Structures are given as C-alpha cells and as structure tokens.
Structure 1
Amino acid sequence: MNTVVPDARFTADWLGLREEQDRRSRSHRLTGLVADWLAARPGVHGVVDLGSGSGSNLHFLAPRLPGPQRWRLVDHDPELLVLARRRGARLCDGAGARVTLATRCRDLAPVDDDLLAGVDLVAASALFDLVSRDWAEALVAACAARHQALLVTLSVDGDWAFRDAAGERLDTAEDAAVRVLFRAHQRRDKGLGTALGAEAPAVLARAMRAAGYRVESAATPWHLAAGVPAGRALATALVDGWYAAAREQAPAEGGRLAHWRERRLAGLAAGELGVTVGHRDLLALPEPPAGGR
C-alpha cells in the first residue's frame, strides 16, 4: 500500500515505482533484529503481511529472514494478490529453501483470528498512516495477546521537502502551505476510520510500549537527489500526488496550487531539485521474548 498518491494509492504501477526506493530506505538493522528473534524460535516461522499489495514486503524480507517460512499475504485487492503470488512463487528464505505462500483477499477489519492466527511476525509496509488510532491500538493489543512481533516499515512522519543540487533544504511559503493541506488530507477516512497520517509512528510506538513490547525505531527517509534520472519519475509522481491531495482539500485554491505544481515539476525536469520524504520503521518484540508459540 502507499500513502503518497491519493488517486493511485494501490495500483501496481505506483507500487512498482516506489519499490526500489523503499528497498534502499528500509532499516537493515531492524530487519536483522527480527531475523535474530525468529531464529531463536523453533519450527516454521509464520508471517502475515497486512496490506501486502503486490508483494514488495515479502520480496524484501523473505531472503533476509531464517526459514522455514510460511507467509500469508492479506489485501483487499484481488488483482494485486494475483500479482504478489506470481512474483513470490519461486521466492526463497535466508537458507535458500522455498517459502510457503498463501493469499487472503479481505479487509483489514475486524482484527480477528482469521487475520492473525498461526503467525509469529505481523508485518506491514506503508500502511499505518492510512489506518485509525482505534484500529492500530486493537491490532497491537491482539498481537500482544498472541506474543507476536510486529515490524511496521515506511510509515510517513509528515515531513517532505525539496532539495537543491547541493542537498540543502528549500522551503518556500507555497511549499509549507501545500504540506499543511496534504497532511490534512492524509487524516481523511481511508476505510478504517480517521487516518493517523503523520501521527502513525508516534501513536504506534506508544501503543507498542503500553502493551509491554520492546520497541526499536529507525528513520528511513526517501532521498531523491537533484539531477539523478533514476529518481525523477518517482519525484514527479510525488509532486502530482501532493498537488492532487492539496487541491481536494482546498478546491478554491486550484489556480495557486497549479502554479506551484508547474514550478516544482519544471525544477525536477531541469535537474535543479531533489526531494526527501520522511518515514520511520518500527519493530516491536515481546518483552521478555516469548519462548514458544
């Protein structure tokens, strides 16, 4: 799933566009910590990926985690699940053994046994800014009752900015105004109640600690440098998404917002501007670590 392009939030094209940048940005330290936690547990390691989309989280994690692994991918979009299953058909774990893969087409509510039963690790990427506080707290409580670990990656922290060729932050009054409108748009109901938006990392960390977890956190921003062609398509999609969200939030300001979009897209095309987008990864491990299932 994704939190940046409102009109294409769950399309395969957008998920594919961001996948490589997600891979570069994620915390390898937290991945290593959860791999160690799983390695200390006997038997098959069950993992559920919530809002799995086209399977990017599976592709990143499976080769970096110990086996044997049994994955369940959960998403509301059947077409994305077909793509995820096709892409994951030959995927192997850290020891080179084929992972077992199942898909489940359903909504993420309610938080029930059908969603969480039989797994050690609950994973989600680019999801939690879309969900409500109540849903997030219910999920953490349900995982704590089952002594399951949670690995929540690439939750936006609300900050994004343009950078010049030297990497210095450029913030105009127009940028700040669009950012305020975008953050307000993020809080709209995405199907699970009023969305957390930029509050997601802080809300999750508090809920995890309150449930008795040991919580580790890492900043995982996207860095799309000025003048680097490989990141230009993603940066362009970001600007288009911020513009679309801001215009939905403030239709009367369409002319001013369109002018902002044109200038920022021109800067990207000329190689004069880059973009950074703030994210955080969170890992919650049961404390003390669970010794069995």
Structure 2
Amino acid sequence: MIAPEHDRLPAGTTSPQEHFSADWLSLRQRLDGRSRSHCLTGLAAEWLAARPGAHGGPCGIVDLGCGSGSNLRFLAPRLPGPQRWRLVDHDPTLLALARRHAATLRDASGARLAIEARCRDLSPVDDGLLEGADLVVASALFDLVSRPWAEALVAASAARHQALLFTLSVDGDWAFLDATGERLEDDEDAAVRALFQAHQCRDKGLGPALGSDAPAVLAAAMADAGYRVESAATPWHLAAGEPEHRPLAEQLLQGWHDAALEQAPGEQARLQRWHLRRLDGLASGVLGLTVGHRDLLALPPLPARGA
C-alpha cells in the first residue's frame, strides 16, 4: 500500500505514489502556514503541556505522510518540548529532506528535536506507525485515503489516548475571485468542479478516496471515538493581481483541468477552452482563487495525574 504525503500537487490530480516537485512544495508552504488554524495549534500545545505531568518524558509526535517536513517546520517551534518526532513517508528523498530541515529546528523552549524517520507505507495502522505518540499529526492527507483507513486510524489513536491534529484537508470548495475578492461563478466552473470532485474519489492506493468528504468523515469518527473535536475553516486565498500567488494559482488551475480531463476525456475541447479562459484571467491579474480546507483537532480526556 502507498504512503500518501502532504506536500503534493493539487488534491486529486496525481497518484500519491508519485514524487512531488520541490518547486510545488515551496510554492504552497508559505500559504499553508498563513491559512492553517493557529488557534487549534495553540490548543494542541496546551494539551501537550498538560499531558507530560501524567507520564513524564518528551512529547511524542508522529507526522503521517510528512513529505519534505512542512508540517514539522510549522509545528515544532509552536509546541512545548522536549519533543520526539517520528516522520513517516514512503518517499526516501523527501524523508531525507525533512530530516535535514529538522536539524535546524527548535521547540518552543529552544531545545533541539529528537527525530526518527521511517520510510514505510501508512497501512497497516499498527504499533510501528503510532507507538509512543502523544500527538498524531498530518496535513493535506485525508482526501487521498479511504473511509475504512481513516476510521481505523482514529480508533487506533483513541485506544492509545493520543490527540489528533489533522490540517488542511480539502473540503471540495474552490472558486475564482474577482479583483475585490468576491466569488465568481459560472456553469463551466461548476461543471469542472464536479468532474474534479469525482476524480478525487478514485482509489489512490488505500481504497476509494474520501476526497472532499474527508473533514466530515474524520469529525464523525473522532466524535464516535469519544474525542472532543474542534474544527476551523482554513481556506487558501490567492488574491487577484498578486505576483507571488500567480505560479501557485496556475499550477492549481492546471491540476483541476488535468483531473477533469481524466474524468471526462470526451470533453477535451470544452475543458481546453475553459482552461485558457481562466488562465488568461489569472495572467492579466483580474482573477484570484480560493480553495476550501478545514483543520481538525481531536483531544482525548487527560489522564488523571499519577495514573
């Protein structure tokens, strides 16, 4: 089975078994950091700070599908220490890059991180994946996985009293924005979005993928497992006419076109016209983009001190 990674091309546009471009990872990292919920990260930090009183030792954190380490770079300086990270990914090149980044990082108190890298698949959900963790994290992963795998992960983490912080899960919403930031909509956009959403649900290696249903499925599984669940909308906003946003916007547009074409190859001419029209709007600075995401934090009850 594959091990999807969070630092990847537009959701649903490629198999997660492929390698992902360093350029794409760089393009999205700053926007990810600006978009994700700092409030939920703060709540996770508070929970970790309280938990060591129950068992002592470093805070154990597992990053599923760590890619080049974007999630690690965001979270490590915002979480209490000492920290012991397990980075999990199937791609040895990206895993090595994540380890190099980790060497420069410090926790919230300024201490170095303890790092373990495991090059493996995300299935099965076993002790080798989750052992020793207080907090399990993943970013932009869950649209690729199946309902059974996601529910198995939540159940296994709940049995171990682990907190979960799953960020930047796509919710299926995207739209073009005008120069004032207002949403634009037409029938062609809606048709392409429907094809894209259908493409997201193809089997990516862990069974039929959740696609845009991922946030709702995760939240329900977390609640059923007894977690206290917090949720926050974390959309990307790429403003019209912003030069720094244009490369990422163009890559997103290309990804949506390619996924729609794979889903409906008989619509090539129509999709090409749509793609060129929207590409021209991005290039001329009259169009921006918004892409919906959601962050989820699941907190188990803290164990009683001395337990």
Using structure 1 for the length normalisation, give the TM-score.
0.97
Note if 1:89 corresponds to 2:99.
Answer: no
Q: CA deviation at 1:90?
A: 1.8
Deviations 1:241-267 (A, max 9, x none): 000000000000011101111111110
Q: Distance in 1 between matches of 2:9 and 2:303?
A: 33
Letter in 2 for 1:118: G
Secondary structure of 1:206's partner? helix
- Aligned counterpart for 2:231 among listed residues 196, 217, 222: 217
Structure 1: where are the runs of 5+ without partners?
none
Q: Distance in 2 between matches of 1:182 and 1:221?
A: 18
Please say if residues 49 and 122 of structure 1, whose CA atoms lie closer than 8 Å, have aligned partners that are also in contact: yes
Residues 52-91 of structure 1 aligned to structure 2 (within 5 Å) = 52-91=66-105
- Aligned counterpart for 2:125 among listed residues 108, 111, 121: 111
Q: CA deviation at 1:16?
A: 1.9
Please say if residues 3 and 156 of structure 1, whose CA atoms lie closer than 8 Å, have aligned partners that are also in contact: no
Deviations 1:208-233 (A, max 9, x none): 00000000000000000000111111
Q: CA deviation at 1:28?
A: 0.4
Please say if residues 216 and 283 of structure 1, whose CA atoms lie closer than 8 Å, have aligned partners that are also in contact: yes
Q: CA deviation at 1:162?
A: 0.0
Letter in 1 for 2:48: L
Q: CA deviation at 1:7?
A: 3.8
Partner of 2:3: none
Residues 190-269 of structure 1 aligned to structure 2 (within 5 Å) = 190-269=204-283
Please say if residues 3 and 130 of structure 1, whose CA atoms lie closer than 8 Å, have aligned partners that are also in contact: no
Q: CA deviation at 1:15?
A: 1.9
- Aligned counterpart for 1:38 among listed residues 48, 57, 72: 48
- Aligned counterpart for 1:153 among listed residues 146, 154, 167: 167
Q: Distance in 2 between matches of 1:130 and 1:259?
A: 29
Secondary structure of 2:208's partner? coil
- Aligned counterpart for 1:133 among listed residues 139, 143, 147: 147
Note if 1:4 corresponds to 2:14.
Answer: no
Letter in 1 for 2:129: L
Indicate how the Cα distance of structure 1 residues 8 and 110 shifts in structure 2: closer, same or farther if over 3 A, else same. closer
Q: CA deviation at 1:87?
A: 1.3
- Aligned counterpart for 1:13 among listed residues 13, 20, 23: 23
Deviations 1:23-48 (A, max 9, x none): 00010000000000000122200000
Partner of 1:165: 179
Q: Distance in 2 between matches of 1:209 and 1:70?
A: 27
Q: Distance in 2 between matches of 1:183 and 1:16?
A: 25
Please say if residues 3 and 126 of structure 1, whose CA atoms lie closer than 8 Å, have aligned partners that are also in contact: no
RMSD: 1.3
Q: Distance in 1 between matches of 2:84 and 2:129?
A: 14
Q: CA deviation at 1:165?
A: 0.1
Q: Distance in 1 between matches of 2:15 and 2:224?
A: 35
Secondary structure of 1:129's partner? coil
Please say if residues 241 and 285 of structure 2, whose CA atoms lie closer than 8 Å, have aligned partners that are also in contact: yes
Structure 2: where are the runs of 5+ without partners?
1-5
Q: Distance in 2 between matches of 1:190 and 1:283?
A: 25
Structure 1 vs Structure 2: percent identity of aligned residues?
A: 71
- Aligned counterpart for 2:35 among listed residues 19, 22, 25: 25
Note if 1:289 corresponds to 2:295.
Answer: no
